[in-house]
Amino acid sequence: MSQRFLLMPIRSNKQGVQINVGKDSDEYQAIVNTLQMHPDDMKELGITTGALVRVTTAVGAAEFHCKEANVPRGMLFVPYGPPTCQLYGGDTDGTGMPTSKGWEVEVEVIRPH
């Protein structure tokens, strides 16, 4: 089962603290590999916290573990990191920075948990 959402990559406080520990730490990796989703959206997809999903854009795909969060329905939030880098291309629309917010994505359940 899959569904379309709007993905908003973010910088989180926890991510900022963990970067001082190092990007290779288990804590940092857990942060950048966790997707935040509204509980009702998770229910519609038949998943619970910890489920593994594949997020796909027109450019690429990445896998994330889901967790319930207080986010708007239809929107997903995930901290920037190696997985999100797989989702966007090099087009900068002349700004020098790739578009990195508001991507329409397809979410496919890999393992419901």
Q: Could you give the 3-state DSSP secondary structure of residue 81?
A: coil
Give pTM, 2 decimals: 0.83
Give the pLDDT confidence score for residue 21 in this predicted structure. Answer: 60
pLDDT along the chain (113 residues), means of 10: 83 56 76 94 94 94 96 93 84 69 88 86
Q: What is the CATH number of domain 2-111?
A: 2.40.40.20
What per-residue confidence (pLDDT) applies to 69? 95
pLDDT score at 75:
95
pLDDT value at residue 77 = 92
Evaluate whether 64 touches 106 at the Cβ level (below 8 Å): no
How confident is the model at residue 20, as a pLDDT?
Answer: 58
